[in-house]
Structure 1
Amino acid sequence: METDLSIEREGEDVMEKTMKKKEAVVLYPSPLIGHVISMVELGRLILSHRPSAAIHVLVSTAPSPAATAATADYISSVSASAGSSISFHHLPATTLPPTFSTMKSNLPTVALALELLRLDAPNVHSALESLSKHHLVLALVIDFFCASAVPVAKELGIPCHCFFTSGAGGLTHFLYLPYLHKNITKSFKDLDPDFIIDIPGTPLLVPSDLPNTVLDRGDRAYEIFLESSMNIQRADGAIVNTFEELQPLATRALVEGQCTPGGTTPPLYCIGPLISNHDAGDNNVDKGSLKWLDMQPSKSVVFLCFGSMGVFPKEQLKEMAIGLERSGQRFLWVVRNPPDQPDSDFDSLFPDRLLERTKGRGLMVHRWAPQVAVLNHGSVGGFVTHCGWNSVLESVCAGVPMIAWPLYAEQPLQRALMVKEMKIALSMNASRDGIVSAAEVEERVRELMDSEAGKSVREKTLAMKEAARAALSLGGSSRVALTRLVDSWIPAA
């Protein structure tokens, strides 16, 4: 009897200690800035539903000094504004083993980031163990790039959800990749250009529509994505930064398990659109572009912006400038110098007297503009974008139609989905040498701003703006999905 009482008291002590632990949700993003921003916004959303919890973000080694600097600046701004509700934990630096020393210089940024994250699994294990000593860890939410952490969470008995930051159509592709790998023996880049790739939940695709990171099955990035797809099938859920009304075909295919033949699809939670205006309140924000927009007619300006990595060669910048001038449309263009061109030579990037000839009708902004504020300005009527998913959602929420000009990673796939399925964009098309001609820029800009095709895209985008608002409202599809997600983490009483 005494032994039974002792065991009972020990059980009560353990329960009491557990009850005193503060709830925590651990987020593990890729260290690339766009992924960190999306993950932090998810953390804010979780806090809005479960304010008693704390958000802990694991920060891993970035693939380059530039990526490290961009992420560090953002983390500092969030830490200053979020207080103790969101905290960041820098994992020990990860380095490639000696066997990779000759490979490192040849690895693209994405492949290097994937490799470093794969090697980070022991550090994630240690961090979760440490946090569990003083917190009740409700869940680990990982970036798709961090899929190697799924087995770690399983080992520790922590619910693990994947947060896919690139929309439901991208997730259908990555979950279907093992099936494609098994049934198509060639690299996608070696297929006939017109070869049809049929993926559940997406329009029919051709090889050039696929992410450039999976075009060559001999690349290391391809191998890791294939492994990641299998790991994600073992996750406890898939969180997607989209809303059902924007991508109904893809969400239906995922819910019905069509993308994992012979495997398992984790439960789907579409909780978007999540967008960030992280430059809000920054005293150093450039107001010049907004003041210039104040002087332009309603819906008359085409905004061109290509993200933090959107750098073009001088030849392409010249074609863009000539096309914009010939279009006759008003434009606001964020320009980054080519790698071999000093910032001090900014004016020399454009044809002679172009700035003078387009003065009043066009404005070139060096390096950066407050994108969310610009897209929501009443003078902006179109957006030429690199198809980064954060930018796409920002444009949808502002009701601004787009011209899709993908540059890298999964952006070609996003263009195909935006143009063929969502119908919220027109496509900018490059020639065989990869350069988009001045004539193409001129024609697409005019088409967006002054044609029936442009009008159709505008109307669909405005409809999706209202659908996004409804999805986030009380009783909306994304609000309901968030409730289901967070409630699934709460231990039964």
Structure 2
Amino acid sequence: MEKEKTVVLYPGLSVSHFVPMTQLAGTLLDHGYAVIVALIDPSVKEDIAFGAVVARLAASMPPVRFHTLPAVEDPPKLTHDGQFMLRYLDLVSRYNKRLHDFLCSINLLIFSTDSPSNEALVVTKRLGFPSYTLFTSSAATFVAFAQLPTVLAEGGPSFKELGDTHLELFGLPPMPASHLLGEVLEDPESDTYKAMMALLCRIPEADGTLVNTFESLEARAVATLKDPRCVPGWVLPPVYCVGPFVGSIADAEAKERHECLAWLDGQLDRSVVFLCFGSIGTGNHSEEQLREIAVGLDKSGHCFLWVVRAPASDDPEKPHDPSANPDLDTLLPDGFMERTNGRGLVVKLWAPQVDVLRHRATGAFVTHCGWNSVLEGVTAGVPMLSWPLYSEQKMNKVHMMRDIGVATEMVGWQQGLVKAGEVEAKVRLVMESEEGRELRARAAVHKEAAAAACDDGGTSRLAFAQFLADVASRQDRALQ
């Protein structure tokens, strides 16, 4: 192991950030780098599923050293509520001393963290290490994040007050202000708002940003990031589009094939609608919403594979357990399972999403618009029905529809309930109509482009090579 080629990765405490970071680790290993993944103890997050994912992926990557930093006193517990990001940023800040001591104990070449953990750049800048951010969402979202701290006029309305007024951000399609992150829709005097804006202002402090995307998928956004008009007065660090990092948590599971794949084997090509709403269960649907989905699927007449989780409790004192087993007999309408037997399959809690999307029988994907899921749909060539739930997913929805052109919208999500008639109508649109065929055709083009980007000589391969060359150049200058 060459100590001078050691890279430390510092992933965030969520599946959607942790998995792409481990995929970056695999790419660095392929290029001859020693990789250490430094971790804040996953147990500080009240999410059994996340800790299990960390353990499985660590066990599946023996060449990578996983190092858990020593605990801090009385760490804040991370539950998914309106204060999550504020507590998370506080936690990262409190771990900076632990991170500092660890980095001083090794011969480090590169440090990389994900964007919510940019507070760690305080440490690496003090120590003089090259420091990069892995941005696990789209280049378009990165454009928006870079502009948000400067977009509001002095004394003008806040993002919250703008409501559904469309924002005209440079290089992006118009987007309702209400689609922004919940943290910037808070009162501008709130601690949450101030902390989020401070985090976004750290974007230029990294030596560069690796984005989990590929150039042809987001040509407009990538060009915008290179344009000095993107953020007047700021010089953005170099951006490297090195994705798509697409993989399955199931890669670290037992090799047994999931039962839903055998069921898909018996279905016609592109005949099945797949419904799945993320890996952590944060946006679990209410009982009422589950019933509306069921009725819509029943009336659509199309085959479906639906991943169902138990609704969150209405009791604020009772923390939500995303691994809770749903009682389908109670949650779904009477007779639903019998009426749809043969053309529908309901799976509890989890399905191997990458494998399902790539199966020949899958014809459409109803998704919460998390960027990892979007990329998994794109690389499988599957058209999507967008149903955003939280975080930047509302922004992704606009991008999927307006720039990428692979999705249509499930209307009603913003009011908190998508009706059965909408589910039926949109399933029929994607599976039966000319508009659905056009979505499928564009999805097929992006699938081919994604493969080409990752091939020898492809844009993502070249971008990663440029990233490594820039790191080497920076190291040479430091030694002079």
TM-score calculated relative to the size of structure 2: 0.91
Paired with 1:275 and 1:412, the residues of 2 have a C-alpha distance of 21
Paired with 1:184 and 1:447, the residues of 2 have a C-alpha distance of 45
Deviations, residues 28-78 of structure 1 (Å, cap 9, x unaligned): 111112211111101111222x21x211111114585443x3333233323
Alignment equivalent of 1:89, drawn from 51, 56, 67 = 67
Contact 1:386 1:405 in 2 (8 A): yes
Note if 1:473 corresponds to 2:442.
no
> Match of 2:15?
33
Q: Letter of the aligned partner of 1:202 in structure 2?
A: L
Note if 1:153 corresponds to 2:132.
no
**Cα gap change, 1:459/1:63 in structure 2, threshold over 3 Å: closer, same or farther?**
farther
> Match of 2:179?
209
Give the deviation of 1:21 after TM superposition: 3.3
1:331-342 residue pairs with structure 2 within 5 A? 331-340=304-313
Give the deviation of 1:96 after TM superposition: 6.5
**Cα gap change, 1:402/1:240 in structure 2, threshold over 3 Å: closer, same or farther?**
same
Gaps of 5+ in 1: 1-18
Alignment equivalent of 2:344, drawn from 350, 362, 385 = 362
> Match of 1:232?
203
SS in 1 for 2:305: strand
Give the deviation of 1:25 after TM superposition: 0.6
> Match of 2:248?
277
Deviations, residues 111-168 of structure 1 (Å, cap 9, x unaligned): 322331233222221221122xxx2x12111110011122221111101111100010
> Match of 1:129?
104
SS in 2 for 1:440: helix
Give the deviation of 1:379 after TM superposition: 0.3
Contact 2:300 2:424 in 1 (8 A): yes
Contact 1:36 1:71 in 2 (8 A): no
SS in 1 for 2:133: strand
Q: Letter of the aligned partner of 1:404 in structure 2?
A: S
Paired with 1:104 and 1:475, the residues of 2 have a C-alpha distance of 43
1:178-193 residue pairs with structure 2 within 5 A? 178-183=149-154, 185-193=156-164
Larger radius of gyration: 1
Contact 1:279 1:285 in 2 (8 A): no
Paired with 1:360 and 1:343, the residues of 2 have a C-alpha distance of 23
Paired with 2:7 and 2:252, the residues of 1 have a C-alpha distance of 27
> Match of 2:52?
73
Alignment equivalent of 1:330, drawn from 291, 303, 307 = 303
**Cα gap change, 1:22/1:260 in structure 2, threshold over 3 Å: closer, same or farther?**
same
Give the deviation of 1:261 after TM superposition: 1.5
> Match of 1:109?
84
Contact 1:403 1:444 in 2 (8 A): yes
Paired with 2:232 and 2:288, the residues of 1 have a C-alpha distance of 46
**Cα gap change, 1:422/1:106 in structure 2, threshold over 3 Å: closer, same or farther?**
closer
Give the deviation of 1:353 after TM superposition: 0.3
Q: Out of 53-62 and 248-257, give the one that drifted further.
A: 53-62
Q: Out of 435-444 and 285-294, give the one that drifted further.
A: 285-294
Gaps of 5+ in 2: 315-323
Give the deviation of 1:410 after TM superposition: 0.6
Q: Letter of the aligned partner of 1:303 in structure 2?
A: F
SS in 2 for 1:312: coil
Deviations, residues 296-324 of structure 1 (Å, cap 9, x unaligned): 11000000000122411100000010011
**Cα gap change, 1:20/1:390 in structure 2, threshold over 3 Å: closer, same or farther?**
closer
**Cα gap change, 1:257/1:116 in structure 2, threshold over 3 Å: closer, same or farther?**
farther
Give the deviation of 1:196 after TM superposition: 2.2
1:266-305 residue pairs with structure 2 within 5 A? 266-280=237-251, 282-283=253-254, 287-305=258-276
Task: Give % identity.
Answer: 38
Paired with 1:367 and 1:357, the residues of 2 have a C-alpha distance of 22
Paired with 1:199 and 1:94, the residues of 2 have a C-alpha distance of 40
Paired with 1:281 and 1:29, the residues of 2 have a C-alpha distance of 18
Alignment equivalent of 2:37, drawn from 53, 57, 70 = 57
Contact 2:13 2:45 in 1 (8 A): no
User: How much is the aligned-residue C-alpha RMSD, in angstroms?
Assistant: 2.4
SS in 2 for 1:280: helix
Contact 2:59 2:252 in 1 (8 A): no
**Cα gap change, 1:462/1:90 in structure 2, threshold over 3 Å: closer, same or farther?**
same
TM-score calculated relative to the size of structure 1: 0.88
